[in-house]
């Protein structure tokens, strides 16, 4: 009986593996750490300016700071105790945005950068990856060069980006995505939120509590894709507790969005 010294990728032992991970968010890092613990060598590929993905940079972390600040502002304005005077909070949106950025940088360093620097099994390759074949990636770097990377296992952990609806005229307006809404340094007097997802409602409620007049435009009930019944109850809660700052318009169909300039 003859033996074959060559082995397929499925036969490679964990300590021999080279794992390439496209993306550097929480899912990518959790996978990278697990692979390194099993003895693998891991290359993390990231094309963005910073590592950490959505959650720490433009998702969970900055949004929860904004939501908490809005909650405190709302409580100052509407506390239920006779012995405590309700006050109109004085908001500096720019200072709040700077605090959000500082916390983001702190957590990105603690939860991502330090782990990357302290684990010799992990390395970072900056650039955008595409597949050449099942085990080979071509990574396009910011300087225009391209590097070929061969790995035994390749994990796609690229996350997601905001989806821009194909509404006529929208691209001609200075619209926000959730990212701009989270880090805006000025509070708009009014804000229209298109959609009724969890992210849309978080931003809508936060801005309403901070003092903007917010209109939600939705084709269905709130949280239609997640839990419509919960969305109906949430709409009732908004109507009772946001004190007229938030308006919900349902069954909206978009024909066109246009910027209208009045006077100067």
Question: Tens digit of pLDDT for each residue in 164-183?
Answer: 888 888 888 899 999 999 99
Choosing among 3.50.50.60, 3.40.630.30, 3.90.1150.10, 3.40.228.10, the CATH entry for 170-250 is 3.50.50.60
Q: Residue 190 pLDDT > 50, yes or no? A: yes
Mean pLDDT computed over 245-264: 52
The reported pTM is: 0.83
- Sheet of strand 246-250, all strands in order from the earlier edge strand to the far edge: 190-194, 213-218, 246-250
Q: Residue 258 pLDDT > 60, yes or no? A: no
Where in the chain do CATH 3.50.50.60 domains reside?
Answer: 13-161, 170-250
Q: Residue 175, class by beta-carbon neighbours within 10 Å (0-12 exposed, 13-18 middle, 19+ buried)?
A: middle
The structural architecture, per CATH, of the domain 13-161 is 3-Layer(bba) Sandwich (3.50)
Query: Which is more confident, 156 or 143?
Result: 156
Position 245 scores a pLDDT of: 54
Q: Residue 76 pLDDT > 50, yes or no? A: yes
């Amino acid at each position: 009986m003859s033996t074959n010294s060559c082995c397929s990728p499925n036969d490679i032992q964990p300590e021999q593996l080279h794992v390439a991970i496209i993306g550097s968010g929480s899912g990518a890092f959790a996978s990278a750490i697990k692979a390194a613990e099993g003895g693998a060598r891991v290359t993390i590929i990231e094309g963005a300016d910073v590592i950490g993905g959505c959650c720490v940079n433009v998702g969970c972390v900055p949004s929860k700071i904004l939501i908490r600040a809005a909650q405190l502002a709302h409580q100052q304005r509407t506390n239920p105790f006779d012995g405590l005077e309700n006050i109109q909070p004085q908001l500096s949106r720019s200072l709040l945005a700077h605090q959000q950025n500082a916390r983001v940088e702190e957590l990105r360093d603690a939860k991502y950068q330090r782990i990357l620097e302290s684990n010799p099994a992990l390395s970072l390759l900056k650039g955008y990856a595409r597949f050449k074949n099942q085990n080979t990636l071509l990574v396009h770097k910011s300087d225009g060069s391209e590097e070929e990377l061969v790995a035994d296992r390749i994990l796609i952990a690229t996350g997601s980006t905001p989806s821009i609806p194909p509404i006529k005229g929208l691209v001609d307006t200075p619209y926000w995505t959730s990212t701009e809404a989270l880090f805006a340094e000025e509070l708009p007097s009014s804000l229209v939120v298109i959609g009724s997802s969890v992210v849309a409602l978080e931003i809508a409620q936060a801005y309403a509590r901070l003092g903007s007049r917010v209109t939600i435009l939705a084709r269905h009930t709130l949280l239609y894709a997640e839990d419509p019944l919960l969305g109906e109850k949430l709409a009732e809660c908004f109507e009772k507790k946001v004190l007229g700052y938030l308006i919900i318009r349902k069954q909206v169909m978009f024909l066109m969005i246009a910027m209208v300039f009045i006077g100067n």
